[in-house]
């Protein structure tokens, strides 16, 4: 059984391998620290392109790094312009009505939605590395802005202060985003797992849709809370205030938007139908209200929009207590959400076109456009999926499509804003609902349930927290559960018993390979994680249990007594001083039991620390092998050439009492 019938080719007559596990040569601490920092903050090696380049070339490369427009601009062609022109005009037709709608969702003046679709896209076109990302406002960030700022300042009672706080929050968001990029801290955004984003987006979309019942039903007074219970209570406590004219109009336009979206999804080449539907709804709704004087019958309209380009708002920023902390908190939270969405969207479309985008450069670009936006009467912007998908389907070639969109918005600000006077708010509500329904990705939730139940729990926690408590609580809850999961992976690493696959020298997990055979007299354990202070107690207790279980199994089957415990350390990438102490304890416990501890394939970091702590001498260099197969061959050789350890069963209670 096992290796008893084999003569392992790489071992000599004494059962020892001609190759020892090497101890890596010592390196200066400064060099080790430098390598660790490089792997942490510069895994993509962005400075590689600057090596062996003259100073003039380094200057050009530096400009191209921070301003990618200098890289693709000189190669820009007329064919690219034709494609970007069509894409830019198409996304402008979507950005204009959505911008107005999302500004209303954030409890901000509608004109800010247009301002935010003018300056930020121009900044991103110069600094962004994605060819497909279309910049604009997003519903989730708008909802968060309304929820978090509204808790401190009532937008109806003090609109000026509320507006200035929105600009300040946008500044903090931009500074935070750009800082993450400059400091190479983009991995922080990775704590927003896919499951978290799916649940959070779906919950936010549900809340946004429910809040639009105010516009659909023509209600004047509505709750400022975002949870579903408060929203529904507000809706059904005012049934006498419902206006059927507004409800009918809203349902008709919502039906129109959903039908066009469904048609474009089934016929992708007609994507422009869905893209043009929001602007078409605005035009039709405005004409209908103007001809029927519906504003006199309970259908609210936008009213007068200020004409002209973005006014400067640098002097409007608020840096005084108690509002500073609110603006900072709002900026950081909305900034993280905007980054997660923008980078995820950019990476998704870059995979379709087979090009690479730098996450840290994207953070700098998104941060700088929000800093610029906060000084020019804009609120938070990023790369929303809806507009980016339209941009991609329209055949955009470069970020110039954002410039075309910005020019179209500029033209609207200069000449067309009076035309939006009669735009009914119910149409804006219908546009928001139609856009938000696409964020409720139930198919992704079903996929999470099939693949990973814990991820499904994270997803549903985010959704339930957002819908039934608040947007902020839902996000915090989902992130907290995700972090707890990471901590559990560290604190409770997997350990497995390995067995020999028949007619081979391969050893694998007996639970995964049911035909794997236990090797008589030898227990092979695999540790599947780095060994740190957080998991040493668990590992010590788990190794103890495995040995006790193996002893019980041997007694019940009458097999040969246990003599060797082999620890496969292939997956142990690192170990700390607490882990070294744990191995010393395990060694003492094994010795008291009369067993021999054997190590297989410890990595370079593990060997280095074991050598410095003199653990190798305590275990014995002769009991450390390159592979599990070599370790088993050596143990089998000893089992068949020597008598069992007479002291093995002298102190069984010593182990059991640990």
Q: Which of 87, 141, 83, 107 is nearest to 383 (CA)?
A: 141
State how far the Cα of 341 lies from the Cα of 348, in Å rounded to an integer: 11
How many CB atoms lie under 10 A from the CB of residue 187? 13
Q: In what order do the strands lie in the sheet with 564-568?
A: 507-509, 495-500, 522-527, 564-568, 596-600, 624-625
Structural contact between residues 405 and 134, judged by C-beta atoms closer than 8 angstroms: yes
Give the pLDDT band of residue 586 (cuts 50, 70, 90).
Answer: very high
Q: Which helix (H) or strand (E) holds 508?
A: strand 507-509
598 phi and psi, to 5 degrees?
A: -130, 135
328 contacts 149 by C-beta, under 8 angstroms = no
pLDDT recorded at residue 237: 86
Of 231, 200, 102, residue with least CA distance to 440: 200
Q: Which residue has the tokens 């985008």?
A: 357
What gap in Å lies between CA 309 and CA 89, rounded to an integer? 19
Q: Which helix (H) or strand (E) holds 568?
A: strand 564-568
Q: Which residues pair with 497 in a beta bridge?
A: 525
% the chain with pLDDT above 70: 93
Please say if the pLDDT value at position 191 is more than 80: no
Q: How confident is the model at residue 557 (pLDDT cuts 50, 70, 90)?
A: confident
C-alpha atoms less than 13 angstroms from C-alpha of 102 in its C-beta half-sphere: 33
Q: Which of 8-17, 178-187, 262-271, 556-565 has the lowest mean pLDDT?
A: 8-17
The mean pLDDT of the chain is: 85
Residue 4, pLDDT above cutoff 50: no
Q: How many angstroms separate the CA atoms of 383 and 339, rounded? A: 9
Polymer length in residues for the chain: 658
pLDDT at 655 over 50: no
Q: How far apart are CA 303 and CA 223, in angstroms?
A: 23
Three-state SS for 7? Answer: coil
Predicted confidence (pLDDT) at residue 13 exceeds the cutoff of 60: no
Report if pTM > 0.85: no
According to the model, what pLDDT value does residue 642 have? 63
Residue 161: predicted pLDDT: 94
Instruction: State the pLDDT at residue 643.
Output: 53
> What is the pLDDT averaged over residues 90-104?
88
Closest CA to 347 of 131, 181, 39, 138: 131
Q: Provide the pLDDT confidence category of residue 658 given band limits of 50, 70 and 90.
A: very low
Q: Assign 503 to helix, strand or coil.
A: coil
Residue ranges and CATH numbers for the domains of the chain are 69-484 (no CATH), 493-642 (3.30.750.24)
Neighbours of 144 (CB within 10 A): 25
What pLDDT digit, counting tens, does each position of 169-179 carry?
999 999 999 99
CB-based contacts of 275, cutoff 8 Å, min separation 6: 90, 91, 93, 94, 264, 390, 394
pLDDT at 447: 93
Three-state secondary structure string covering 398-448: CCHHHHHHHHHHHHHHHHHHHHHCCCEHHHHHHHHHHHHHCCCCHHHHHHH
> Per-residue b/e over 227-258, b at no fewer than 16 CB within 10 Å?
bbebbeebbeeeeeebbeebbebbebbbebbb
Answer for the pair 165, 334: CB distance below 8 angstroms, yes or no: no
DSSP-assigned states of every residue in 116-141 = TTTHHHHHHHHH---SS---B--HHH
What's the average model confidence in pLDDT over 141-148?
A: 88
Please identify which residue in the block is written with the tokens 């227990």.
Answer: 523
Q: Which segment of 223-227, 282-286, 391-395 scores lowest on mean pLDDT?
A: 223-227
Residue 166 has pLDDT above 70, yes or no: yes
Task: Tell me the average pLDDT across 200-204.
Answer: 84
Confidence label for 654 from pLDDT (cuts 50, 70 and 90): very low
**Per-residue model confidence (pLDDT) at position 646:** 39
| pLDDT tens digit sequence for 462-519 | 899 888 988 778 878 878 888 888 888 888 888 899 999 998 899 999 999 999 998 8
> Would you call the peptide bond into 184 cis, given omega within 30 degrees of 0 as the criterion?
no
* DSSP letter, residue 492: S
One-character DSSP codes across 188-254: GGGGS-HHHHHHHHHHHHHHHHHHTHHHHTT-S---S--SHHHHHHHHHTTGGG--HHHHHHHHHHH
Q: Which two tokens stand for residue 577?
A: 């001083």
Beta-bridge partner residues of 565: 523, 597
**Is the backbone of residue 52 left (phi > 0), alpha (psi -120 to 50) or beta?**
left
**Tokens encoding 452:** 């990973």
């Amino acid at each position: 059984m096992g290796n008893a019938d084999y003569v392992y080719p790489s071992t000599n007559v004494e059962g020892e391998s001609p190759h020892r596990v090497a101890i890596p040569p010592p390196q200066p601490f400064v060099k080790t620290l430098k390598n660790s920092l490089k792997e942490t903050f510069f895994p993509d090696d962005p400075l590689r392109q600057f090596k062996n380049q003259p100073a003039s070339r380094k200057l050009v490369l530096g400009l191209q790094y921070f301003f990618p427009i200098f890289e693709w601009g000189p190669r820009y062609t007329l064919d690219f312009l034709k494609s970007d022109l069509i894409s830019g005009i198409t996304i402008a037709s979507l950005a204009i009505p959505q911008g107005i709608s999302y500004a209303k969702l954030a409890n901000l003046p509608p004109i800010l939605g247009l301002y935010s679709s003018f300056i930020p896209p121009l900044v991103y076109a110069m600094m962004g590395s994605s060819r497909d990302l279309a910049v604009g406002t997003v519903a989730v960030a708008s909802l968060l802005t309304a929820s978090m700022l509204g808790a401190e300042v009532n937008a109806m009672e003090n609109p000026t202060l509320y507006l200035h706080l929105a600009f300040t929050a946008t500044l903090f968001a931009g500074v935070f985003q750009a800082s993450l990029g400059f400091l190479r801290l983009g991995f922080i955004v990775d704590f927003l797992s896919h499951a978290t984003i799916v649940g959070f987006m779906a919950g936010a979309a549900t809340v946004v849709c429910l809040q639009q019942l105010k516009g659909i039903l023509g209600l004047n007074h509505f709750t400022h809370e975002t949870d579903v219970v408060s929203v529904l209570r507000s809706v059904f406590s005012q049934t006498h205030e419902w206006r059927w004219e507004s409800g009918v109009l809203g349902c008709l336009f919502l039906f129109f938007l959903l039908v066009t979206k469904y048609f474009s999804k089934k016929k992708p080449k007609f994507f422009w139908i869905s893209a043009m539907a929001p602007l078409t709804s605005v035009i039709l709704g405005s004409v209908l209200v103007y001809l029927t004087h519906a504003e006199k019958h309970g259908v609210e309209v936008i009213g007068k929009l200020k004409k002209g380009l973005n006014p400067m708002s640098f002097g409007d920023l608020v840096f005084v207590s108690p509002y500073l902390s609110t603006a900072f908190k709002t900026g950081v939270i909305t900034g993280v959400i905007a980054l997660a969405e923008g980078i995820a969207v950019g990476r998704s479309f870059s995979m379709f076109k087979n090009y690479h985008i730098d996450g840290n450069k994207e953070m700098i670009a998104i941060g700088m456009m929000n800093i610029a936006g906060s000084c020019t009467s804009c609120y938070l912007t990023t790369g929303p999926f809806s507009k980016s998908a339209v941009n991609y389907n329209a055949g955009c070639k470069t970020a110039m499509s954002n410039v075309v969109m910005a020019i179209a918005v500029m033209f609207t600000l200069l000449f067309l804003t009076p035309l939006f006077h009669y735009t009914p708010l119910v149409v804006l509500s219908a546009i928001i609902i139609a856009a938000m329904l696409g964020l409720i990705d139930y198919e992704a939730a079903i996929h999470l349930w099939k693949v990973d139940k814990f991820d499904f729990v994270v997803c549903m926690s985010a959704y339930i927290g957002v819908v039934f408590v608040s947007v902020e609580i839902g996000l915090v809850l989902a992130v907290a559960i995700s972090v707890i999961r990471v901590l559990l992976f560290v604190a409770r690493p997997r350990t497995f018993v390995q067995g020999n696959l028949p007619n081979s020298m391969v050893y694998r997990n007996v639970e995964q390979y049911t035909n794997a055979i236990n090797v008589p007299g030898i227990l092979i354990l695999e540790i599947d994680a780095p060994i740190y202070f957080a998991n040493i107690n668990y590992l010590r207790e788990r190794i103890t249990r495995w040995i006790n279980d193996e002893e019980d199994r041997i007694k019940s089957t009458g097999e040969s007594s246990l003599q060797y415990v082999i620890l496969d350390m292939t997956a142990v990438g690192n170990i700390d001083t607490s882990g070294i102490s744990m191995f010393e304890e395990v060694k003492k416990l094994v010795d008291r039991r009369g067993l021999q501890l054997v190590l297989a394939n410890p990595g370079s970091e593990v060997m280095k620390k074991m050598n410095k702590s003199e653990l190798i001498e305590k275990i014995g260099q002769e009991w450390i092998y390159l592979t599990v197969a070599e370790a088993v061959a050596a143990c089998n050789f000893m089992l068949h050439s020597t008598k069992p350890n007479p002291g093995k069963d002298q102190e069984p209670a010593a182990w059991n009492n640990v």
